[in-house]
Amino acid sequence: MNTYVHVLNGRLRIKVPEVKRAPKKASEVVQGLQELQGVTYVRANPTTGNVLILFEPDILDTQQIIQALHELGCLSNLHASIWQNASAQGARPKLSERLLQSVFETAIQQVIMALI
């Protein structure tokens, strides 16, 4: 299965293996992510395993979404230190936060590509 992450400002599309062929898990993911402050839209497709999240980047960042997915029992193949770093990065100043977010997103993409 191809795994990917695609990130734009306020938009995250990620393949979540636990959602593929699992409508109940897809519903759990949608419900769980919709509870996050700053999430404006979530769609989880059990046919493809793709999850699309639209969010307010001033309120929520990609790391927090990845951490929430992990807490929902998804993305278990991601190295734990990557998603655990998300909360530590949240307290940084705005410019540093955005730079770290970019670095973090690149690291996630590289880790996921290495798992393929």
- The CATH code of the domain that includes 74 is 3.30.70.100
Instruction: Check residues 98 and 111 and name the one with the higher pLDDT.
Output: 111
Reduced to 3 states (helix: H, G, I; strand: E, B; else coil), residue 12 is: strand
Residue 45: is it exposed, middle or buried by C-beta count within 10 angstroms (0-12/13-18/19+)?
middle
Average pLDDT in the 33-46 region?
A: 97
3-state helix, strand, coil in the chain (%, to 5): 45, 20, 35
Distance of alpha carbon 4 from alpha carbon 14, whole angstroms: 6
Q: Which domain holds residue 100?
A: 5-115
User: Three-state DSSP class for 41?
Assistant: strand
Provide the pLDDT confidence category of residue 1 given band limits of 50, 70 and 90. Answer: very low
pLDDT exceeds 70 at position 7: yes
Longest dimension (CA), the chain: 41
What's the number of domains the chain is made of?
1
Does the pLDDT of residue 34 top 80, yes or no? yes
pLDDT for the residue 115: 62
Q: Which helix (H) or strand (E) holds 65?
A: helix 62-71
Question: pTM of this prediction?
Answer: 0.68
Asked whether 52 and 42 are in contact (CB, 8 A), the reply is yes
